Amino acid sequence: MVAEDGFVNVAGQVLKSRAEFQALQTRTHSMQFKQSVRTVTGTDIKFITPDIAIAHVSWGMRGDKDPDGTARKPRNGVMIQVLVKRDGKWTVVAAQNTAKGPVTLGVCCACLGRDLARAEAVAPGTLRLKFEQL
């Protein structure tokens, strides 16, 4: 199930197609996520209609690295998915992934050819960004 109409990753990068999503996954899984383990720790689903649902999928991640190869600390997050049932099959049509607590955004910023960005949650809904050159 890959978002076909839009996916927003933990760095806020908007991927507008399945091809963009797959290209990013190929790049990041060749190094940063090569040895990572992502575990689903909980799922809450609300049906809007019999054929439309919103899922909050809690997750944990360990074993991934920053673009420079530095190991990251294990972390948790939640992905919100909008699902539509088409021809009897559920498909994710849009999703947003959010990390909980302090977060390193280097993976996606590096994929865009930008400086490494580190974000720290300083208050609910507020991040402090620090940019470093790669």
What's the CA gap between 117 and 102, in Å, rounded?
Answer: 12
**Average pLDDT rounded to a whole number, residues 16-38:** 85
Residues 6 or more apart whose CB falls under 8 angstroms from that of 109 comprise 11, 115, 116, 117
What is the value of pTM for the model shown?
0.66
- Tell me: the pLDDT tens digits for 63-88? 999 878 899 899 899 999 999 999 99
Write the class of the CATH domain 7-101.
Answer: alpha beta
**Structural domain spans, the chain:** 7-101
Whether 29 has a pLDDT exceeding 60, the answer reads yes
pLDDT band at 8 (very low <50, low <70, confident <90, very high): confident
